[in-house]
Structure 1
């Protein structure tokens, strides 16, 4: 694969290299990325891309695909990037163009075509998963099959080794087995990631149709400058790995509303929270729950209040962490008096 030009992306503080590969090179090096994990975006029905398949055989030039690398290496020239890309392509993943690559692969198996024809590739090199997710959403927004949740699934699957980070995450289908009792549901981690990225605990609402909710969610994520916060979701996961060692804390965190509110709030206070051990975290959420228990459940929407107040608590953790339940209740009462 050849690199033709290099450009700095000032929004995500990364590097974009514009390259090309022959169809043959793409089939060997990039098509395997499609099946990299079980969470990868599901391939669309063949009929949707049959026209592109025929066009490939007839010699069309496909729109560029986008391939991403998460790396701390600072590379800014074509020679070094070309070497890096070819040596590390197995560690990359496809941000945009999975369907085109799959169609190319299918065409290679079913028809004869010029394998030396070129496919063009945008390689994004960036040191932050969150910045790549921001870029992924800008690439895929408007393509209905690719919802924000699908995009986060891909990002989580390719960029996080939860076992290595000390967290056990299981798919919904495995959630009832004995080993999953101490694990987090993948669906909840996805919700937490969306809340972290959107800077909001409101990432789901069953009263709003899914398509509109996705549109609102994309709007929230797009409104957050990707370089605004120093925190990363990886740092948040590491915190989860520590505080889950308290049994009461683990039970608390496995409640979706708590986890989502915590993720959105922790983004603002990561430096304050990162030094906590499991015992201290357990004490803090104990005070929170004691205060929350004094709200009249018949007069509030319990889930909504819990999610939003957990967000408020951890967003301003430096202010709240040493308060007892009565002091917290007074604060929460002031915040919700007009609700």
Structure 2
């Protein structure tokens, strides 16, 4: 291993060390920590990608772009002037190593080495293991810095989905112990099958709508901008408390509707007339991001207007919601959402705005639809039409 240069990154307050390292040493360094970075995208297995070509190129000592790694801020003291001791420093702190960019290249390298060992092609194996590659290693980087660098580096063949980027930004909130709620991430690969389960990204979108008082979805261009806010929020426990309050309030809403309607679903007669309703049941209606974002934006606006005092008072109002005819409610809210589907260009945004009006009327004591979901479904659509048509 040879240290080529060492620069300080002022944006994330970490040192960037550029090294040259043989593939053999790189394999030994990263193999034990491949699964350490919970933010990382999944590997690409398609043989038709550029990574399949890379296997062939590596046997010809092709120079590949540097991989980027990080040693987290929990490592010991790093002496920027002691470049000769960097290899030993890296070995002592190997357990803190994560891959920021180059996971697919790394898997390709390891697969090739494994394949050559199995083939007994000693000459090619020695050549590949001795081939030099470059690696950038960020030393002393904190979690926010890791996220920032991953997002700015994420421009390759397999970019992270917007869903995963949002999950990364708010990952700390997964540590919150929220009674009766299970938040599921995209990387978990599990479906929402039980009443207490929610998609983490969708819940986060709703919370972001609460913070912004805006029900429209997070745009890709907003992700990096949100990091500066996250840097501040990460120092304040109160934001986690607000997230917990939002989740508990929304969960209490879904539980109340589920309590009132139980397993009730749209009738077969209704389905025959409308074969693709927004949601056949309470769970399918309110566990969609449109409803969560509408709830978040509505709560923010009601609190700003002084109509409700906070999430605790909202939960008290939710507990008093009544539905005399569950079938009528399911049909009415689907009718409103169906109208939006047939009469608006940006259907998803229109649905989010409808839910904002729906929840504002449902939980506003001054509204004629207060605590009456059927009336709120009607008034929510009327207000959307009045403001947008």
Task: Describe the superposition over 1:107-159 as per-residue Cα deviations: whole angstroms up to 9, x where unpaired.
Answer: 21123023473431242654454x64443333223x353243375388479x6
C-alpha distance in 1 between matches for 2:35 and 2:80:
28
- After superposition, the Cα gap between the structure-2 partners of 1:75 and 1:163, relative to the gap in structure 1 and judged at 3 Å, is same
C-alpha distance in 1 between matches for 2:142 and 2:300:
18
Contact 2:291 2:355 in 1 (8 A): yes
C-alpha distance in 1 between matches for 2:167 and 2:113:
26
Give yes or no for the alignment of 1:119 onto 2:134.
yes
Contact 1:18 1:122 in 2 (8 A): yes
Residue 51 of structure 1 aligns to a residue whose secondary structure is: helix
Give yes or no for the alignment of 1:175 onto 2:183.
no
Match of 2:260 in 1: none
Residue 63 of structure 2 aligns to a residue whose secondary structure is: coil
> Which runs of 5 or more structure 2 residues have no equivalent in the other structure?
117-124, 258-285, 302-308, 321-328, 342-346, 358-362, 371-375
Match of 1:24 in 2: 24
Match of 1:140 in 2: 154
Q: Which has the larger radius of gyration?
A: 2
- 246-255 vs 92-101, which deviates more? 246-255
Quote how far apart the aligned CAs of 1:172 are. Answer: 6.0
Contact 2:165 2:223 in 1 (8 A): no
Q: TM-score, normalised by structure 2?
A: 0.55
- 159-168 vs 95-104, which deviates more? 159-168
C-alpha distance in 2 between matches for 1:281 and 1:85:
52
Counterpart of 1:152 (choices 165, 169, 189) is 165
Cα root mean square deviation, aligned: 5.6
Residue 44 of structure 2 aligns to a residue whose secondary structure is: coil
Residue 62 of structure 1 aligns to a residue whose secondary structure is: coil
Give yes or no for the alignment of 1:162 onto 2:174.
yes
- After superposition, the Cα gap between the structure-2 partners of 1:55 and 1:135, relative to the gap in structure 1 and judged at 3 Å, is same
Contact 1:243 1:250 in 2 (8 A): no
C-alpha distance in 1 between matches for 2:210 and 2:97:
23
C-alpha distance in 2 between matches for 1:2 and 1:74:
21
C-alpha distance in 2 between matches for 1:196 and 1:128:
24
Counterpart of 1:307 (choices 330, 352, 368) is 352
- After superposition, the Cα gap between the structure-2 partners of 1:306 and 1:152, relative to the gap in structure 1 and judged at 3 Å, is same
Contact 1:14 1:124 in 2 (8 A): no
Task: Describe the superposition over 1:247-306 as per-residue Cα deviations: whole angstroms up to 9, x where unpaired.
Answer: 5246498442243456789999xxxxxxx986335258789xxxxx9x993875796356
C-alpha distance in 2 between matches for 1:2 and 1:103:
23
> Which runs of 5 or more structure 1 residues have no equivalent in the other structure?
205-216, 269-275, 288-292, 313-321
Matched positions, count: 306
C-alpha distance in 2 between matches for 1:132 and 1:105:
24
Quote how far apart the aligned CAs of 1:100 are. Answer: 0.8
Quote how far apart the aligned CAs of 1:79 are. Answer: 6.2
